[in-house]
A and B are shown apart, each in its own frame.
Chain A
Amino acid sequence: MKPYPIFRITIWKVIAILLIGAGVVSAIARFRLGLGATTHLNDLFPWGLWIGFDFLGIGLAAAGFTIVAAVNLFHAHEYEPIVRPAILTAFIGYLLVVLVLVIDLGRPENFWHPLVMWNPHSVMFEITWCVILYTTVLSLEFAPIVLEKFNMHAPIKMIHDVSLPFMIVGVLLSTLHQSSFGSLYLIVPTRLHALWYTPLLPVLFFISCIASGISMVIVETLILSRNGRVLLSPVLMANLAKMSAVALAIYLVVRIQDLLSRGAWHEMRSLSYHSLAFWAEILIGFVMPLILLMFERVRFSRRGLYVASLLVLAGFAANRMNTAITGMETWPTQTYFPSLMEILITTGIAAIGFTAFTLIARYLPIFAPTNATSTHS
């Protein structure tokens, strides 16, 4: 790679620096002044934008476990070139989610309590453990990339030797907590709107995270396949798109069937704050990309893949935000809109994520995997 002048100022760097700066200032204010002064959270709406961001971050980071499962467990080695970018996305995603969680906690200094004070009945307890353990697994999956940079082959060999059980554990942990984010809402049947509340929440959360994880991989591969670098052949990209479409189709069947069987269909027919949010989510984020991806022409076109995958990600985001925020609102008596500081902290953290990815992709061997990390035996 040709050396890149670090201090060249680009519009993206300016934006990133501004966002991160504003985020840091807001975060300092949040810790100095408390949650009440800096957020729009209140007793009747104790969870807001940050929880939504956590849902989102974890869902997009599903790219990591889906690709690791496909390549290293199911031996679909043709996708090997995107394993490392996917692991990097997941690793950064999880670290950022943990960061947001700590900012969101009322008593961040006690964040370690779930490690020693157990309540196995709590979904939050299970999620905490899964996220901690999976972030550990991700750091092991990420470590060879760093070690390779510094030519330390002995530890790479050691990690490689124990990698199979770790990868299996990683996929299981992901399955568990991806679905458990849905389980968090099982306990509020009278509060979460009928268009989103269902006993199937964990199942739906899991299926949709597969679609979003794969779409994230597609978008990422498209972004990274520039300046003559080709990570995956058009046929493989089209196959990924097909898998995403299958996940979308399964999701839609389960979701609609569930809504009909629970008698929530009259909620879908009436025109209301909630039904508008529901239809926007379903039509733009699930039905439209599914229809698009059914066309071979779309699956083989760069622009088509971009549009369809971004729609999937938008639909995924809408679904998580609707579950976390819209569905919990009672229009028009009790609504929530995040405060400026909540937004600035969130965008600042997102900017940290993009910056970290760009820097790591530039300085570490993300695109040149050697056989040392694959599980060819």
Chain B
Amino acid sequence: MNQKRAMLIDITQCIGCNACQDACKVENKLATGEEKRLSPTAYTALSEHDGVFVRHMCQHCEVPTCVSVCPVAAFTKTAEGPVLYDANKCIGCRYCMQACPFRVPRYEWASTKPRVQKCIFCAPRLAKGLQPACAEACPTGATKFGIRSELLEEAAGRIEAEPDKYVARIYGSDTVGGTSILYITHVPFEKLGFDTRLDKFPMPLLTNNAMSKIPNVVTVGSVLLAGIWWITNRRAEVQQFEASQKQNGHSQNEDK
């Protein structure tokens, strides 16, 4: 039953009513009031680009960068999709914020016991079999919750049905290895502030390339260093021995 969940955001259908943010704030007990940007009290926010609205939120990556960079494993990726954060583990190094390819995590800078804040994909609601609060609140169906593979098919279907309307790309289908939030649009993604430079491969692979060399560095390095120590040490010994030989005169050499 652990099928991957996702949300399909059809930018053509969004009317910018902000119902998603309102519902999110109620569900997650965040300070109310409309916010135009992500913040510690806004897990989702709408940005406007010439009358077109884009929903920002944690993308819940398939191979999340935050999970990979966190030194204390405060982030976990659940089988259903949500990427969750445990404030009790967090040391506050903020590497997740630095590394997130979508620049999502927000920090409670004003607090002396700050937490990282971001969308939790309403994991408690998902566990109860409910859909996320934002998807439930969306009056136009611009945000649709479902099984990831089914939503991918549906998105492809919508693009195929109206190829003149839609841009032929599902953002999130393979971006940084795929995400749980999928976008389709009629305006080119780069004009809506999407980072189209992001590649298909998951970011953590970049680090793994370097980290996987560590065992080699350790084994080769220790052998090399010990070897140099032995050789240079031996050279000093030989020099000392030869010097003492010279002092003892030539008699011993002649015996050979």
Contacts and interface: CB of A to CB of B under 8 A. Distances in A.
A186 B207 contact: yes
Q: Taking each of A33, A106, A189, which has the highest tally of chain B beta carbons within 10 Å of its own beta carbon?
A: A106
A74 B90 CA distance: 42
B71 A122 contact: yes
**Size range of the chain B interface in the assembly:** 35 or more
B229 A75 contact: yes
Nearest to A107: B92
B203 interface: yes
A143 interface: no
B111 interface: yes
- Residue among A108, A119, A164 having the largest count of chain B Cβ atoms under 10 Å: A119
Interface in A22-79: 31-37, 41-44, 46-47, 69, 73-75
Interface in A71-95: 73-75
Interface in B190-237: 195, 197-199, 203-204, 206-211, 214, 217-218, 221-222, 225-226, 228-229, 232-233, 235-236
A107 B207 contact: no
A171 interface: yes
Contacts, number: 166
Given A43-B106, A188-B99, A125 B91 contact: no
Chain A interface category by residue count: 35 or more
Interface stretch (A110-118, A215-223, A238-246): A110-118
A119 B73 contact: yes
Nearest to B38: A43
B171 to A, nearest CB: 15
A172 interface: yes
B207 to A, nearest CB: 5
Contacts of A69: 225
Contacts of A188: 98-99
B68 A121 contact: yes
Contact of B214 (A75, A106, A176): A176
Given A35-B109, A172-B225, A117 B214 contact: no
A175 interface: yes
B204 A42 contact: no
B125 interface: no
A106 B97 CA distance: 12
B49 interface: no
A190 interface: yes
Interface of A: 31-37, 41-44, 46-47, 69, 73-75, 104-108, 110-111, 113-114, 117-126, 128, 164, 168-169, 171-172, 175-176, 179-180, 183-184, 186-190, 199, 202, 377
Given A114-B72, A199-B209, A199-B210, 15 more contacts: A34-B109, A69-B225, A73-B232, A75-B232, A106-B107, A110-B92, A117-B72, A118-B72, A119-B72, A120-B211, A171-B225, A172-B225, A184-B95, A187-B203, A190-B198
Interface of B: 38-39, 65, 68-74, 89-95, 97-99, 101, 103, 105-107, 109-114, 195, 197-199, 203-204, 206-211, 214, 217-218, 221-222, 225-226, 228-229, 232-233, 235-236
